[in-house]
Structure 1
Amino acid sequence: MEHTGSIVDLMRGMGLPQETIARVSRLWGKSAARNGGRTHLLLGHLLDTAAVAEVMWDRYLSAALRHRLEEISGGRGRLWFMWICGIHDCGKACPAFQAMDDADAAPVRAAGLVWGRLPSDRRQRWRHDVAGAALLRPRLVAEWGSSESAAWVWPLVAGHHGTFPSVQGLKPKHREVQGRGAAWEAVQRAVVDVFTRAIGFAGLADARPVGALNRAEQLGLSGLIVMADWIASDSEQFDGMADARTVSLASARQRAEAAWQRLGLRGGWDELAIPEDRLTPLAGRLGVPPRASQQELVERAWSMPVPGLMVAEAPMGEGKTKAALAAAEVLAARFGLDGVFVAMPTQATSDPMYEQVLEWVRTFDPELEAQVALLHGKRRFNPTWREIWESKRIDPVGQSARGEEPAALDPFDVYGATEEDAEYGMSAWTSDASGRPQEERDGPARWFLGNKRGLLTAFAVGTVDHLLYAATRTRHVMLRFAGLVGKVVVVDEVHAADVYMRQFLLEALRWLGQAKVPVVLLSATLPPAQRQACVDAYLSGALSAADVVCSVPEPAGYPCVTAAYALNGASAVVSSREAVPSWRASTSTRIDWLPDADPDGGLLASTVRKEAADGGVVLVVVNQVDRAQAVHRALTEAGFDGQVRLLHGRLCSAHRAERTEECLRLLGPGANEERPERMVVIATQLAEQSFDVDADLLITDLAPADLLLQRIGRLHRHSGTRRPSAFAEPRVLVSGVAVGERGRPRFLPASKGIYGEWALLRAATLVAEAAGPLSGGTRQTDGWSIPADVPGLVARAYGEAEVCPPDWDEAVAREVWRAKEQQREKDAEGFLLTRPREWGAPTLEGLHYGGIQAASEEDLDAVVRDGKRSVEAVIVRRSASGYRAIDGTWIGVHGEVDDETVVGRLLGGTVRLPSRLTEAAEAEETGLVPLPGWTGHPWLRYAPALVLEEDGTAVLGKDRVSYDDVLGLVVEGG
């Protein structure tokens, strides 16, 4: 039974000696210097954390996780969750920690807890998280009577500051840091016993779990411990208590409840009601007249006996994402899940999906809109996100419209750490604005805006990178994984992950499978080998076994859904039922060559002028920014007077967002009234996926077959679109390739650099069957039947059988490709959360052995995406009197910015630089650093500035760089 009085009364009731009571009553957990001027006692912090955990149990944890904790604790899940969260800091009861603050150490010494000379070498210090595990582990083994139970619990204590050590790492390198003598031993024992009794266990033995969580569940639980600790460590929410007579569980509960309310925290659905009608989530909530493929996905969600993996393959424009949301509702209701994470391939595709998820979530409860997070670095440019997350009461850097003090909100904070972390080389972080009550709060909890916290919101939409981050051996990975446990995970355009990124995706699927997290993968062009790999990875996790290989039946057709799950964690089931018809009949799409391997794209431009002379919407997709700019120049110089839009990755954030929105408005579904008579969109790979526009004609550079088919998915995409009679039938012109020696294709150098020669040779062969040889000749087919031919074309493109003519030397190209793929796989291995030989480990011990210390989102991008490093810079223009933003807004002599509206305009000039510019700037150690006036601003202080001189240019290495409002960043080689 929990103790209702103060901890001093409890210690007396336990019969502890008075000297031990006095000593325990002096141990501090938060120093006055770092806690708003007031010392907070160690037991007070432990009880605060337990009380926060109790609130989390009631209002944040998913029903599925609560059920698991009830199982392993013998029906005392709430109490055990409170205990494991609160016990995390017991290691602060040692000299290594108590000596950190001289003022707060003095009363501890005066009470009789002394220590000798402590090591000055940081490497010999004893971190309190490791100390806690070292102190607790032998007691758990002795009093629980089972080393197995202790083995998975102690790492939860040892890892609460971001990394999990091995058991060998628990031994202090310097004896003095642990505390010598009976006095230290008595207080260390008492801290554990008093806290355990205070929350309601009869003693430490009574807290023994009756079962064990698997390793993925342990990782999720560890992240929740970190979350509880960070909330309870916020000095603005939990003021200090230096008198042990005032410390009690009752007072901690009052503080936790008040803090939770002030922070505005909450979970998602809690226990979602199971829909009465099987199609209500689709037809009722989303208002979708169910297509056969959508209905199939939802039906599979109903039929799965346990959480599992579903792979939905359906044509572009079929409505897969809406079906996935409906399936997510069914899975969440059936298996007790509390939210959804939707992973998209790019930032550009995340924004429209955020709007869609937002509308969907509002149908459950309008107030839930505040629980939908947009996770990518450009979210502040999304007007809907700004309206919700930066409401009229709280602005972008935490200053409310009522004139309250600005927060210490720092989106670029290295660790998002708590105050004592500063002693270990980590920055402190404050999570809310003023700490004062905010009864008028109408926005979401800004606590979730902290670094590494975004996935902890109930509903999140973001780049797939956030899923991949949770599969890296990096600090605080458990916090990211905790944001996935208890959710349904949807990964759209899963084929878009290249072989390097795929290693992290497969690792994530292993962990999600073991954690019993339902996953829905979506693709229109998924190669069979990738489907097989995803199923094998998920089932390896679900079965807690390495290298599981389950034969995935060949889909009977297209669209189709493959389902995989493990029954009772022992046997795997993989099924793919009879395929269903697409919502629209397959259409013959004519494929023609437009031979042109000239990077300047002169032939493309003249062809566009000819094709669009009498109107129509033409989409031109090329593989290189310079080529896109060249085509645009050629069109404008030739006096083409149609509407022309240029869309690529070297546009600044503001221009890219404006043009993307305009294209979707004019060419999106139901846009007939606004659809222009003539328009040309020249784009790079940005238009390849999740770009819901409808073109009358597609002109595209050759790309691997699956990506080529994705581009064709923008052609005649929407039913009912009015078109000129000349474009009544869909037609594709394939460029970016010309006839080379012996009739072998000659590709654009940029295309070869991006995709490799083998994939392009295979794609050229498939195109030649439909368009005839490049050099002219007979077609083998009348075109491609879209979407019916899609799976067959993708399978042939990535199959083992050779398809190219003998003179093309396909075997040589394949070996070059295979060697590069294998090297990229190997390159990823060093960053994966677990190595292959470690997958069978039952606990988190040593998880971070040899791990990396990625310090920022940009550093993490370099971990989960290979290739040459590039950075984003904010373009500013130098003038005689100071600096201006890209739109001409004055920003001060040294770049100073006081107005947040100006900050938005300034950051609207953010652009990603080509890797060669980044390398040149780093080699010269000049430029690409924040302006002097940005030092104190949280959004700007880490933002590199690309300073354009008065002539509008900058020189980086051998390149001269300028920015044109139409063309974007222009790079001219020296």
Structure 2
Amino acid sequence: MTPLGVLWGKSAGKAGGHTNLLLQHLLDTAAVAELIWDHYLATWVRQVLDDVAGDGVGRRFFAWICGVHDFGKACPAFQHLDAAGAALVRRAGLVWDERVVARHRWRHDRAGGLLIREHLAAARWSDLNIDWVWPLVAGHHGLFPTLGEVTKPDRRARGRLSGRTPGWRKAQSELLSAFTTALGYDDVAAAEPKLVPNRAVQLQLSGFVVMSDWIASDQAHFVGVDSLARVSMDGARERAGLAWKRLGLRGGWGELPPPGRDAFRQRFGDDPRQAQAMVVDIAARMDAPGLVVVEAPMGEGKTKAALLAAEVLAARWGMDGVFVGMPTQATCDPMFTAVRSWVEAIDPSLASQVALLHGKRMFNRHWRDLLEDDDPCPDDRFTGVEEDEYGLEDPYGVASGSTDPQTVPERRAPAEWFLGAKRGLLSPFVVGTIDQLLFAATRTKHVMLRMAGLAGKVVLLDEVHAADVYMSQFLAEGLRWLGQAGVPVVLLSATLPPAQRRELLAAYLSGAASYEDVDALDVGMVPEPDGYPSVTAVWWAGSAVGHAVQSSRSWRPDLQVAVEVLPERPGGSTDDPDAPSPGDEQVVALLRERLADGGCALVIRNTVARAQRTFGALRTVFGDEVRLLHGRLCATDRADRTEECLSLLGPPTSEGPGRPHRLILVATQIAEQSFDVDADLLITDLAPMDLMLQRIGRTHRHAGVRRPERVSEPRVVVTGFAPGDGAPPWFPQAATRIYGRYLLLRTAALVCAYAGGSWSVPGQVPRLVADVYEGDRQVVPASWAEAEREAQADWVARQRARAESAEPFLLSRRGEHTRPTLEGLHRGSTRDGLSEEHHRAMVRDGEPGIEVVMVRRDDHGYRTLSGRWLGVHGDASRDVLDDVLGGTVRLPTALTEEAERTLAPLEGWRDHPWLRYSRALVLDASGVARIGDHVVRYDRLLGLVEESRRR
């Protein structure tokens, strides 16, 4: 019996009741890869792989490299694992030492790395090509080993595990030859590519290998073929075609035509402003895919301009979709709606291909409605998946629904397959938090799937100034890989420090340039913008940096924002929301005076506790005219209050309730970005200048608003610090903990210098930001100089330490960006199987936060926060699910460890697809709960309050 008829790839238990021969699985995977090439890959990616393969045979090589991934199963170390399969293999004359294979564990992916090296060398492949191909085989289970790890068993045992006998070598050669010729090559030598792709392309290609394998490993669509007579490439293509239709997989635009002259009006309903037209024009003038940095004030319409620029870049360079990254989960939801509308305006059939990707997407009713039309709870199928070390477990299949591809219904959301763990970025169009891109720059398992998801897309990142020095390490790492892969990137910011802009440009270009040219890169030759709004675009022009820098006038004239200081005396820094504060008394007195004739004020505090305390003080005077908004409100309360604030203080409309006579909104930093409210007066705690200007963007924002005389002119009142009499100012401890003393000192100096005067916004924004962040600019008084030097030294040390603390998690280690292959990429990696919350903590430099679902318990059982009955076990039927999920709240990070240890789902949630992974915080009748040694209280006005720590 020929070895090809007995070597097995999937046991009967994992292949629908019939053993799947190894050759069949390789062909199945190759057939899936052909469909990925034909119906999913972007034109840009296909062109790159055509260049790699040479002679226009990119499709064939792509199928070959995907199919050959399991070549390592053709050895004793794997074939002995299934008793029935092993018996047939031994009967065919392929034997092994049972003691050796039982004693030495050798994964088939790593075995494949070694075997493919040896057999490609025998086929006279060049060392350069062997060196980049074997890691793709050895790493197809998500981690790229070193060559030493691949050859880990001692030499004698390795020979017995891999099959060094003539019979095994012959069987392996026959398998590789049969697979290769089935794809149309004359022999294995003919499959050798003509060029070595760069490392980013290798990583993306590796992701497509995994994607092909996961689809071809689904026993619902690929039942085992145990007879060699029925093994064929034609059969594999038929099986793959049916699976593709049943799964409903597809790509994005395909060949996207360039947008016409009226495209902006067609997409968004109005003509572009000057700054918007400038962004689109720059994108059309770039000579290669590159990085576009758009800096413009709040309300300028950056997002619409960026979307049309993405359309231009996609059409010019053959990109097939977009990833839109937002700073927070809350800002993702409205962007999801906007992107769906934009995609639908281009091609109505593509609106269903837009995915929402963040940890709280199940709370988005629009997203859930789209899913429920297709499947009640598709997200559940992909939660908590574990992969067997030897690849025998294939938990990646999904229920296919109808087995007749002709009756598969039209979906309103992306294919279920794309909704699985680690696969979200593979959807053609994605809106998610920026964390999704940052995850793709971490040395974590299956990172290649995330990079494959970004291949052939245009990446658009909003509010990039929100990335601090720690997050910026991951952002820069991601930009290097995207630059190397030729992925166009558009970055949006209202207030970007010049040094940060230069760092982003340098990161992208260092990836885009060839290895030998990296040292010659000179970002300094890219001029600074000379106006605001501005666009800075860079690209690698083959041997030099190409660039285009342009500025324009804003669509509205500058506002002269009066600057006023309201000193806060020491003693108002406590984080106890019930403690009195002199600072709150001053805020109350000021608002009594300024709003005597009415008006709407926004008060921004730097911590939740300060916001809660200020709200309490104001409410005793102004009653129901005060609102509170912060991140520790439950999902329902936060959504309701956000909607109310946007309705009352948003753009004037004929349908709205109208602007109230008087309203005071107390908020935290969540009001800094993507929050379209318009206040007559802003009172804000001191923060670094760029964040202060973001906050100022919420005042006198809309035209046509009638304002009382006392607040008719834009004004910012800065509090949360106390200027000294010639001495450096006092800052609350919480402020220095969040922002650092150095930036607060420099910002305070500018606030004091302009007090009694005004800032010209947005025209003066770039200069104000540069004055704070460019350390060589003298802005503090001479009497503060020593304090500034000490603060700067501490700030520099902290910045350096935070940057260094990111290094262990970055995808490439320091000094390894110019390595030619993926060998050892995951060396020393311990970040496997992390939840999204732990990933967020990794890329945002913080303790992993935790969300809990609050319920009330009385003598009769459990109820939702709104009072709906859940029974004695907490059962949540579909009609009360929204109420239950509405009780979700994020705990302070200090409570995370105790919450993970002590909180669990309710008994009635354990079989619920969405709630069984949710921890319940059970409140008593007074709204109090205990988390370990901590006592918390949920108040419908204040939100979650940390009461005390139990003794």
TM range, normalised to the smaller chain? over 0.9
Equivalent residue, structure 2, for 1:872: 851
1:561: how far off?
0.9
Note closer, same or farther for the CA distance 1:605–1:92 as it changes in structure 2 (3 Å cut). Answer: farther
| 1:857 corresponds to 2:836 | yes
1:956: how far off?
3.1
Local SS of the residue matching 1:363: helix
Question: TM-score if structure 2 supplies the norm length?
Answer: 0.93
- The partner residue of 2:464 within 494, 498, 506 is 494
Note closer, same or farther for the CA distance 1:70–1:921 as it changes in structure 2 (3 Å cut). Answer: closer
Deviation string for 1:262-301 (max 9, x for gaps)? Answer: 1111110011012343xx3323322332111111111110
1:654: how far off?
2.4
* Identity value in percent: 53
- The partner residue of 2:409 within 429, 440, 452 is 440
Q: Distance in 1 between matches of 2:18 and 2:862?
A: 44
Q: Distance in 2 between matches of 1:563 and 1:531?
A: 11
Equivalent residue, structure 1, for 2:81: 100
Equivalent residue, structure 2, for 1:848: 826
Q: Distance in 2 between matches of 1:515 and 1:847?
A: 17
Please tell me whether the aligned partners of residues 873 and 913 of structure 1 are also in contact (alpha carbons under 8 angstroms): yes
Q: Distance in 2 between matches of 1:501 and 1:469?
A: 11
Equivalent residue, structure 1, for 2:576: none
Q: Distance in 2 between matches of 1:189 and 1:604?
A: 81
1:206: how far off?
1.0
Equivalent residue, structure 2, for 1:481: 451
Note closer, same or farther for the CA distance 1:593–1:941 as it changes in structure 2 (3 Å cut). Answer: same
1:202: how far off?
1.1
Matches within 5 A, 1:111-122: 111-117=92-98
| Counterpart code for 2:481 | W
Equivalent residue, structure 2, for 1:884: 863
- The partner residue of 1:971 within 943, 946, 950 is 946
- The partner residue of 2:172 within 185, 188, 199 is 188
Equivalent residue, structure 2, for 1:8: none
| 1:263 corresponds to 2:247 | yes
1:742: how far off?
5.2
| 1:168 corresponds to 2:148 | yes
Q: Distance in 2 between matches of 1:358 and 1:671?
A: 23
- The partner residue of 2:814 within 811, 819, 836 is 836
Please tell me whether the aligned partners of residues 877 and 950 of structure 1 are also in contact (alpha carbons under 8 angstroms): yes
Matches within 5 A, 1:157-556: 157-173=137-153, 174-175=157-158, 176-277=160-261, 280-388=262-370, 390-397=371-378, 409-410=381-382, 412-414=383-385, 417=387, 421=388, 423=390, 428-432=395-399, 434=401, 436-437=403-404, 438-443=407-412, 444-545=414-515, 548-551=521-524, 552-556=526-530
Q: Distance in 2 between matches of 1:99 and 1:436?
A: 34
Equivalent residue, structure 1, for 2:540: 566
Q: Distance in 2 between matches of 1:427 and 1:615?
A: 65
- The partner residue of 1:911 within 874, 889, 894 is 889
- Aligned pair count reads 920
Return 500-509 or 288-297, whichever deviates more: 288-297
Please tell me whether the aligned partners of residues 172 and 178 of structure 1 are also in contact (alpha carbons under 8 angstroms): no
Deviation string for 1:150-188 (max 9, x for gaps)? Answer: 111111111111011112222151433222422221211
Q: Identify unmatched segments of 5+ residues in structure 2.
A: 574-580
Equivalent residue, structure 1, for 2:549: 576
Q: Identify unmatched segments of 5+ residues in structure 1.
A: 1-18, 399-407, 772-778
Deviation string for 1:881-933 (max 9, x for gaps)? Answer: 43333333333434444x234344323222111122224446xx4x2233344
Deviation string for 1:774-824 (max 9, x for gaps)? Answer: xxxxx4xx2000001100000000112342123331111111111111100
Equivalent residue, structure 2, for 1:623: 606
1:727: how far off?
2.8
Note closer, same or farther for the CA distance 1:602–1:36 as it changes in structure 2 (3 Å cut). Answer: farther
Q: Distance in 2 between matches of 1:145 and 1:37?
A: 39
| Counterpart code for 1:500 | Y
Please tell me whether the aligned partners of residues 107 and 389 of structure 2 are also in contact (alpha carbons under 8 angstroms): no
1:253: how far off?
1.2
Q: Distance in 1 between matches of 2:699 and 2:888?
A: 31
| 1:758 corresponds to 2:742 | yes
1:658: how far off?
2.6
Note closer, same or farther for the CA distance 1:812–1:195 as it changes in structure 2 (3 Å cut). Answer: same
1:606: how far off?
4.2
Matches within 5 A, 1:892-911: 892-897=871-876, 899-911=877-889
Equivalent residue, structure 2, for 1:60: 40
Note closer, same or farther for the CA distance 1:57–1:727 as it changes in structure 2 (3 Å cut). Answer: same
- The partner residue of 1:51 within 23, 31, 45 is 31
1:680: how far off?
2.3
Deviation string for 1:39-92 (max 9, x for gaps)? Answer: 222111111111111111111000001111111212111111111111111111
Local SS of the residue matching 1:591: strand
Note closer, same or farther for the CA distance 1:753–1:427 as it changes in structure 2 (3 Å cut). Answer: farther
Q: Distance in 2 between matches of 1:369 and 1:319?
A: 22
Q: Distance in 2 between matches of 1:837 and 1:479?
A: 24
Q: Distance in 1 between matches of 2:509 and 2:532?
A: 24
Please tell me whether the aligned partners of residues 701 and 736 of structure 1 are also in contact (alpha carbons under 8 angstroms): yes
Please tell me whether the aligned partners of residues 510 and 539 of structure 1 are also in contact (alpha carbons under 8 angstroms): yes
1:728: how far off?
2.4
Q: Distance in 1 between matches of 2:849 and 2:203?
A: 32
Equivalent residue, structure 1, for 2:565: 593
Note closer, same or farther for the CA distance 1:639–1:695 as it changes in structure 2 (3 Å cut). Answer: closer
Local SS of the residue matching 2:600: strand
Local SS of the residue matching 1:589: strand
Note closer, same or farther for the CA distance 1:522–1:639 as it changes in structure 2 (3 Å cut). Answer: closer
Note closer, same or farther for the CA distance 1:247–1:879 as it changes in structure 2 (3 Å cut). Answer: farther
Q: Distance in 1 between matches of 2:358 and 2:855?
A: 23
Please tell me whether the aligned partners of residues 32 and 240 of structure 2 are also in contact (alpha carbons under 8 angstroms): yes
| 1:698 corresponds to 2:675 | no
Deviation string for 1:607-639 (max 9, x for gaps)? Answer: 334433433222111111111111222232335
Question: TM-score if structure 1 supplies the norm length?
Answer: 0.91
Q: Distance in 1 between matches of 2:854 and 2:812?
A: 40
Return 140-149 or 493-502, whichever deviates more: 140-149
| Counterpart code for 1:731 | R
Equivalent residue, structure 2, for 1:147: 127
- The partner residue of 2:91 within 85, 105, 110 is 110
Please tell me whether the aligned partners of residues 115 and 180 of structure 1 are also in contact (alpha carbons under 8 angstroms): no
Please tell me whether the aligned partners of residues 236 and 434 of structure 1 are also in contact (alpha carbons under 8 angstroms): no
Equivalent residue, structure 1, for 2:761: 786
Matches within 5 A, 1:660-675: 660-671=642-653, 673-675=656-658
Equivalent residue, structure 1, for 2:791: 813
Please tell me whether the aligned partners of residues 402 and 408 of structure 2 are also in contact (alpha carbons under 8 angstroms): no
Note closer, same or farther for the CA distance 1:272–1:931 as it changes in structure 2 (3 Å cut). Answer: same
1:504: how far off?
0.2
Note closer, same or farther for the CA distance 1:427–1:634 as it changes in structure 2 (3 Å cut). Answer: farther
Q: Distance in 1 between matches of 2:250 and 2:588?
A: 54
Return 461-470 or 865-874, whichever deviates more: 865-874
| Counterpart code for 2:47 | H
Q: Distance in 2 between matches of 1:603 and 1:901?
A: 47
- The partner residue of 2:929 within 954, 959, 971 is 954
Please tell me whether the aligned partners of residues 236 and 435 of structure 1 are also in contact (alpha carbons under 8 angstroms): no
Please tell me whether the aligned partners of residues 80 and 207 of structure 1 are also in contact (alpha carbons under 8 angstroms): yes
Note closer, same or farther for the CA distance 1:346–1:426 as it changes in structure 2 (3 Å cut). Answer: farther
- The partner residue of 2:780 within 787, 804, 810 is 804
Note closer, same or farther for the CA distance 1:662–1:248 as it changes in structure 2 (3 Å cut). Answer: farther
